[in-house]
Structure 1
Amino acid sequence: MGLRLKPTQRQRRLGHELRKLREAAGMGAAEACERAGLNKPHLSHIEAGRTACPEPRLRALLSAYGCSDTTLTKALIELTNATGKGWWRAYRDTVDDRGQDLAELESTTTAYRAFDWLHVPGLLQTPAYMRALFTKENPGDDGDLDAYAGFRLRRQRVLTERPAPTFEAVIHEAAFHMGFVDRETMLGQLDHLVELARLPQVSIRLLPFRCAAYPATPGSPFTIHDASAPELSTVYVEQPNTPLFLCDPWHVEHFAADFARISGISLEPLDPGAAGEQSSLGLIQHLRYVL
């Protein structure tokens, strides 16, 4: 079997985690190969995600590294046994590798924590809103727009399919004043957020301009994707050119702390039945009049 020229995020992540376990065990590549019955080039390719690691070989490596965490072991086995041939493959001619990797990551996410100051998070967008966004970012024919919108709409089904993950979002008020969306589209988006807040697993907070403390928000929108094994949690950072998948524990801890801090100074979660000037619903009602 030839080596992969373009490993997916899942394949790279599996190799990254195996290397971390080896290094945590204080084991060099030569010793690991001797214990697991591999040669050094093969192990190097596994750790780089360039070649597969069948379950028996994975178990041999985990045993050599002294990994006794059953939750982590189960999650790594699921990574190595995954085929990557999910619904997102139908969009491979339209959506780039990063988009494909994101959809695959979302298929295993157990909980989301998202912050955005520029847009409404993608999983919460209406079709009209996303089409306005795509038109500004990627001018092209309607066929492209339909494909991009269809891909994002399909991604949104993770919020309602069972078992549905929890989704916590903090959206800065600035996101509702961006000029790429007309008033009618934005009003529809605000109504959509109120409806989504009725889902028991969805929590949406708004961070107003007049917050009680200096927000010191991160420079880029981000989403923390929690995994069944905490070690496999990932931060997805949106950037103008190439989005980032960050998986080192200190990255996850840093962004988790940022999210907790921002949540703490935001308005109370959006509750369709609880109005009030100092609530997220109150801010949405205000935005309906000032936009």
Structure 2
Amino acid sequence: MALRSNPTLRQRRLGSELRRMREQAGLGGSELARKLGISPAQMTQMEMAKIGVSPERLRMVASACGCANEPLIDALARMASERGKGWWEEYRGALTIDFLEVAELEAHAARLTFCTTAYIPGLLQTRAYASAVFARLFPPLPSQEIETRTTFRIRRQELVRSGSTPLRTFIHEAALRMQFGGPAVLADQLSALVDDSEQSGISVRVVPFALDTFPGSGENLTFAEGPVPELDTIEMDVSQGALFFDSQADLAKHRVIFSRLDSTALQEEESREFIRSIVKEVKATHV
């Protein structure tokens, strides 16, 4: 069997869950391999997602590890049975892996929650705003790459536009005032954000400057809920790309952060009025 050279995000997550299951059982890789009747090398390759694992083999691993978490086992078995490629694979080679993996994460989420401090969440950006976000990068991107990134981002939005995946977002006032592309682009973006916030399945909550505290450390975060809590994932935007976290400690910490945001952010109608007030201000001052 040929080894995978570039396992996908989902394949790597499945492998890490196998490793986590083994470690929680207190078993070494060689010991578990003996129980399964495979070589230690095969066990390592499964955990590193270099080779696939069938749903049947996954259940054998769970049994050998004494795992009794049936909802988790069933969810992992469904992951193991996935064979098709997502639409984002069309962009492999045209965009960096980070872009593809973010789309892959979103496509498999039961619900998405965003916290942004510098810009409007990508799934709610207008084309002009998204293009301006990419155009401000340094060193500057070629115009064709800006167009490719923008088109990819707009295509990602089909997920929430269709209503298939609920979206909840907490947006700091700083992101509402940050200008990408100038005041006219910002005004149009904020007006579109208000329209989106009135759609079923999309919740927009504002965290104004007036709050005396801001939960978390201020990164732009995505909390992607899985079919079971153990398969939730945190994605963090950094200048070098996207970082993914799935340890139970990281998930627990960020659940608290989002819970605090939920208790402190403006409610939905208050948020809409707040955004409308900024639109009026921008238009009166600049447009």
TM-score tier by shorter-chain length is over 0.9
Structure-1 residue corresponding to 2:8: 8
Does residue 280 of structure 1 match 2:271? yes
Amino acid of the residue matched to residue 144 of structure 2? G
Alignment-mate amino acid for residue 22 of structure 2: R
> Pairwise mapping of residues 86-235 of structure 1 onto structure 2 (< 5 A)?
86-137=86-137, 139-161=140-162, 164-211=164-211, 213-235=212-234
Which amino acid in 1 is paired with 2:159? V
For the residue of structure 2 that corresponds to 1:137, the secondary structure is coil
State the alpha-carbon separation in 2 of the partners of residues 227 and 287 from structure 1. Answer: 35
**Aligned match of 2:285:** none
Deviation of the 1:84 alpha carbon: 5.6
Structure 1 segment 251-270 matched on structure 2, within 5 A = 251-269=250-268
Q: Distance in 2 between matches of 1:84 and 1:17?
A: 21
Q: In the alignment, which residue of structure 2 is the partner of 1:290?
A: 281
Deviations 1:32-66 (A, max 9, x none): 11221211111011111222112222221122122
Pairing of 1:230-241 with structure 2 (within 5 A):
230-241=229-240
Quick one: distance in 2 between partners of 1:76 and 1:48? 15
Alpha-carbon distance between aligned partners in 1 of 2:215 and 2:87, rounded to the nearest angstrom: 38
Q: Give the TM-score normalised by the residue count of structure 1.
A: 0.91
Q: Secondary structure at the match of 2:241?
A: coil
Unaligned runs of 5+ in 2: 283-287
CA distance in 2, matches of 1:23, 1:216: 32
Q: 2: distance between equivalents of 1:84 and 1:207? A: 40
2:62 alignment partner in structure 1: 62
Contact 1:4 1:51 in 2 (8 A): yes
Answer yes or no: is the 8 Å Cα contact 2:179–2:186 preserved in 1: no
CA-CA distance at 1:217 after TM superposition: 4.0
Give SS of 1:165's match: coil
Deviation at 1:199, TM superposition (A): 1.9
| Paired residues of 1:238 and 1:244 also in contact (CA < 8 A) | yes
How far the C-alpha of 1:141 sits from its partner, in A, is 3.6
Residue identity in the other structure for 2:152: F
Conservation of the 8 A alpha-carbon contact between 1:33 and 1:40: yes
Conserved? CA contact 1:220–1:238, under 8 Å: yes
Q: Name the counterpart of 2:72.
A: 72
Q: What CA distance in whole angstroms lies between the structure 1 residues aligned with 2:159 and 2:86?
A: 13
Note the aligned Cα RMSD (angstroms): 1.7
| Aligned pairs, number | 281
Q: Look up the match of 2:36.
A: 36
Q: For structure 1, which segment, 151-160 or 66-75, has the greater mean C-alpha deviation from structure 2 after superposition? A: 66-75
Deviation string 1:218-249 (CA, Å, 9 cap, x unpaired) is: 23110100000111100000001132110001
Q: How far, CA to CA, are the matches of 1:103 and 1:215 in structure 2?
A: 28
Conservation of the 8 A alpha-carbon contact between 1:94 and 1:148? no
CA contact (8 A) 1:84 1:104 kept: no
TM-aligned CA distance change 1:204 to 1:22, over 3 Å: same
Q: Distance in 2 between matches of 1:81 and 1:136?
A: 41
User: Alpha-carbon deviation of 1:130?
Assistant: 0.1
Distance 1:14 1:240 in 2: 27
The separation in 2 between residues aligned to 1:40 and 1:181, in whole angstroms, is 55
**TM-score w.r.t. structure 2 length?**
0.92
